[in-house]
Amino acid sequence: MTIRTISEDDRTLGHITARKALLDTATMARRGLLKFKHTPQQLLDVIAVPVVFTVMFANIFGGAIAGTVDAYLPVLIPGVLVNIVITSTVVVGVQLRVDIDKGVFDRFVSLPISRIAPLSGSLVAAIVRYVIAIAITLAVGLAMGYHPASALGTMAAVALVVYAAFSLSWVFAFIGVLMSKASSIQGISALTLTTIGFMSNAFVPPESMPDWMRTIAEVNPISHLVSAVRSLANEGQADMHIVWSLLGSTLVIAVIAPLTVRTYLRRL
């Protein structure tokens, strides 16, 4: 039996391949960002919606739930922030499906680039959308009187939300590869995420819900993420909600990312 050892040339080739994949991913991510520049309406959901949701919910629910708008903002801002960012992950699957249907990815295959770069590039570009949504939400909240207790905790909360959104992006990338119509992805996914988002502790306390809905809200991953953001930003403290959010996001990436890549490469 011959035992093959990894030679120095093998290692060098592996490093070159990995470096090329990273460079190609950066190129594809830049392409995604240029699409935002040329069609800024694609950013409407992460620019206008945070403003509308924050102002509207604060004035509708603030007095009823917390007594005043100012008292409600520490509850509302993390809830809006998480829901807007999580909902915007649908765009990854939609744009991926549109590019596949238009034959864009077929042209990419003919180019001397890494085969995974178009997929990974779109996921990296989407992170900019999440950061914009977070920045707009926090800016509106600060303008209305929201005051986070900890700058460091707020930055940690932002990082946690971006990581959670990145993990969910893999789910919609997988859906985008599997489904045949972009409209189907957008309709079904947006409805599902909106329902899950409202059936959480994002906007109202679960204690005010019917028993069956309260049970769902308490185990809802969105509720854990919102609670983690509130703990970090409002109190500057870490709790078990952060652990659950990190574990859940990591598990999604570990399971869905390889499945998405495998399915994507088979369909090229």
DSSP string computed for 173-227: HHHHHH-S-HHHHHHHHHHHHHHHHHSSSSSS-GGGS-HHHHHHHHH-HHHHHHH
In-domain check, residue 253: yes
In a domain, 137, yes or no: yes
For residues 117 and 199, give the distance between their C-alpha atoms in angstroms, rounded to a whole number: 36
CA distance 62 to 186: 31
User: Counting beta carbons within 10 angstroms of the beta carbon of residue 7, is it exposed (0 to 12), middle (13 to 18) or buried (19 or more)?
Assistant: exposed
Q: What is the dihedral of CA 177, 182, 183, 185, to 10 degrees?
A: 30
pTM for the whole thing?
0.87
Q: Which domain holds residue 203?
A: 40-267
Structural domains counted in the chain = 1
- For residue 80, is pLDDT > 60? yes
Q: Is residue 248 part of a domain?
A: yes
- Establish if 10 belongs to a structural domain: no
pLDDT tens for residues 216-242? 999 999 999 999 999 999 999 999 999
Q: Is 35 within a domain?
A: no
Q: How far is 157 from 232, CA to CA, in rounded Å?
A: 6
User: For residue 182, how many other CB atoms are within 10 A of its CB?
Assistant: 18
- Judged against a pLDDT cut of 70, whether residue 12 lies above it is answered with no
Q: CA 93, CA 267: separation in Å to the nearest integer?
A: 15
Q: Which of the pair, 177 or 256, is modelled with greater confidence?
A: 256
> pLDDT band at 268, cuts 50/70/90?
low
Q: How confident is the model at residue 6 (pLDDT cuts 50, 70, 90)?
A: very low
Q: What number of H helices and E strands is found in the chain?
A: 11, 0
34 is a domain residue: no
Tell me whether residue 66 is in a domain. Answer: yes
With bands split at pLDDT 50, 70 and 90, how would you rate the model's confidence at 200? Answer: very high
Asked, for residue 138, whether it belongs to a domain, the answer is: yes
User: What is the arithmetic mean of pLDDT over 36-47?
Assistant: 75
